[in-house]
Amino acid sequence: MNDAPALLVVDVQRGYFTGTPGLYRPDHFLDVVAGLVDRARAEAVPVVYTRYMGEQGNMVEVGTPAFEIHDRLTPDAVDLVVDKRSTDSFHDSGLHDLLRGLGVGHLYVVGCLSELCVDTTCRRAVGLGYRTTLVADGHATVDAPLEGVPPGRRAALMNRVLSRVGTAEQMIVVRSAAEIDFLATNILTRNQPSPP
């Protein structure tokens, strides 16, 4: 697999911003993702969006305005959009073939929702052999406690957990948006060891 980068924007759809509960810190999240999209386009790095095809009554029900990518991130003519029906962005979506066709080997992942589609997509990507970088401040969860865990804590927990997921060859790398360099040639494939 080649090592060309791509920015994968997972399910940043209108419905997640208007539903109840909404997203945790939505404006900050959009600022981070929009900044990365702008940087990727400026560096001719492919931007690939996924859209979850929600069933009737879902927050992102297909065929409704809620299904579309958020207005701040409207895809350009050169961007690619892949529709899917699974939390795994690769499952029966054609995403893997599309990325292989582009020569992509390194995915930078941002999107919604942290503990669902972002988590599953990162795990599948590294399993498929992609160098996978999760943008630590570029994924969003709902603005409500789940099992007593507040949203800010959940996002931090996802970063910690996913930084320990990988294969014998490579681990998912977690970096803040400020640390992302799409065109770096010496990107680490493992996170720095942390104290036990």
Q: How many CA atoms lie within 13 A of 122 on its CB side?
A: 30
Which residue is associated with the tokens 């669902």? 116
Residues in the chain: 196
Helices then strands (H, E): number in the chain? 5, 6
Spatial distance between the Cα atoms of 56 and 61, rounded to a whole number of angstroms:
6
The residue assigned the tokens 């036990």 is 196
In the residue annotation, 112 being an active-site residue is answered as: no
CA 179 from chain centre, in angstroms, equals 16
Cα–Cα distance, 172 to 106 (Å, whole number): 11
Contacts of 44 (CB under 8 A, 6+ apart): none
Q: Which of 109, 117, 136, 174 is catalytic?
A: 117
Name the residue among 125, 77, 82 with its Cα closest to residue 104.
125
Looking at residue 63, its amino acid is: G
**Residue 195 backbone dihedrals phi, psi, to 5 degrees:** -65, 150
Please identify every residue annotated as catalytic.
117
